[in-house]
Amino acid sequence: MAEKFCLSNPNLTDEDHLYHIALSTSDNLPQRFGDVKYVCMGGKERRMQKFAELLYDTLGKPKNSELTEQPTPGHRLKNISQSGGRYCFYKVGPVAIVNHGIGNPSLSVVLNEMLKLIHHAGCTDVSFFRIGTSGGLGMKPGTVIITKQAYNGLLENCYRQVICGKEIRYPADTNPQLAEDLLKCAKDFKIEAIAGNTMGTNDFFEEQARLDGAFCEFSRQEKSDFLKRAHDEFGIRNFEMESCCFSGLCARANLKCAIVCTTVVNRLERDDVTADKSLLEEWEFYPQQLVAEYIKRSC
C-alpha cells in the first residue's frame, strides 16, 4: 500500500485551521480530500475556475467532485474556499485546483496550507502542477516552457527563505519525468513546448529588467547584458514570479512538481505584451490542455 503523505513538522496536531483556504481539521478532510492525487495551482482565480470546469468534462464528470448547489452554465463546481475571500479552491475527482495570486509570498501561504491539507487528509502519491503565463526569453510568443530548474533574480538555482532572521536556501528543481511526460502531451497536441530553465523573481518590473516600470535607473545596455547572460549562461527561457517558491517547497516536502507556462512576449525583443485578447486566451489555454491531458492519461 502506498505511504500516506506526512509533513515532518513535529508541531502539527490533529487540530489545525487552514485560515486562508477556509478549511480546518473539523471539516472531514480525509473523507473529502483523501483521494487527491494532483494539486494544480495558477495565479488567476478566473483561470483556475475555468480549468476546474475543463477538468470536470475531461475526466468525465467524476463523482468525487464538489458541486455547487445552484449550477449555471460554466459554473457547476463549488468554490470550497469562497468564505475565506483570499483564494479559490475546487475539487474535481482526484484533483484539487487552487489559485495562488502573484508572487512567491502569496503562493507560499496557500501552498503551505495545501501541503497541510494533503497531510491531514492522508493523501498518497500526490503531484503538484503550476500553470500560468510568463515572459519568454528568445522564444516565439505562444511557446510553452516546462521548467527544469528555477533561478531567482540573482541567477541562483534555489528558493531563499528567511526563517527566524536567517536566510536558508532550498533546491528549486522540478521532476524530470513529469516534464518529459508533459512534453509528450505537447507533441501529441501539436503545441510548441520545450523544457528550459525559468527565472522566478520577486518583482515584475526592474527585477525582470523591464524598462517600463514606475522606476528605472539602469541602461538599455545593462538590461540586454543581463538578459543575454540569463539566456546564454543559465539556460533561462522564461520569467515568472513563483517558480522558486513552488519548486523549493515541493522539493522540501519530497513531492513531485512541474511548472508549465506559456510565453506571451519575447523579452529579447520588447517588454510589453502586444498579442490581442483572443490570441492571449488561446496561449493561456495551452498549459491547461497539457496538464488536463496528463492527468487524464495517468489517473
Annotated binding site for substrate: 208, 210
Nearer to ligand R2B, 58 or 198 (CB): 198
Q: Can you tell me which of 132, 153, 196, 248 binds ligand R2B, judged by CB under 6 A?
A: 132
How many Å is the maximal CA-CA distance in the chain?
59
293 binds ligand R2B (CB under 6 A): no
Nearer to ligand R2B, 79 or 147 (CB): 147
Instruction: Fill in the DSSP letter of residue 242.
Output: S
288 binds ligand R2B (CB under 6 A): no
Nearer to ligand R2B, 53 or 242 (CB): 242
Q: How many residues does the chain have?
A: 299
Among the listed residues 20, 220, 181, 227, the one whose alpha carbon sits nearest the alpha carbon of residue 114 = 20
Question: What's the closest the beta carbon of residue 119 comes to ligand R2B, in angstroms?
Answer: 26
Q: Can you tell me which of 170, 204, 205, 234 binds ligand R2B, judged by CB under 6 A?
A: 204
- 256-266 and 127-136 as β-strands: parallel, antiparallel, unpaired? parallel
Question: What's the closest the beta carbon of residue 47 comes to ligand R2B, in angstroms?
Answer: 11
The rounded distance, in Å, linking the Cα atoms of 182 and 48 is 19
The rounded distance, in Å, linking the Cα atoms of 88 and 226 is 36
The grid coordinates of residue 157 equal 538555482
133 binds ligand R2B (CB under 6 A): yes
The rounded distance, in Å, linking the Cα atoms of 163 and 296 is 39
Stretch of 18-26, 234-242, 266-274, 284-292 lying at the interface with ligand R2B (CB under 6 A)? 234-242
Q: Give the type of residue at 63.
A: K
Residues in Cβ contact with 21 at an 8 Å cutoff, skipping those fewer than 6 apart? 80, 81, 84, 86, 87, 89, 98, 110, 113, 114, 117
147 binds ligand R2B (CB under 6 A): no
Nearer to ligand R2B, 56 or 128 (CB): 128
Nearer to ligand R2B, 113 or 240 (CB): 240
Question: What's the closest the beta carbon of residue 254 comes to ligand R2B, in angstroms?
Answer: 24
DSSP string, 117-148: HHHHHT-BS-EEEEEEEEEESSS-TT-EEEEE
Nearer to ligand R2B, 170 or 204 (CB): 204
153 binds ligand R2B (CB under 6 A): no
42-61 residues near ligand R2B, rule: CB under 6 A = 43
102 binds ligand R2B (CB under 6 A): yes
Q: Give the footprint of ligand R2B on this chain (CB under 6 A).
A: 43, 102, 132-134, 204, 240-242
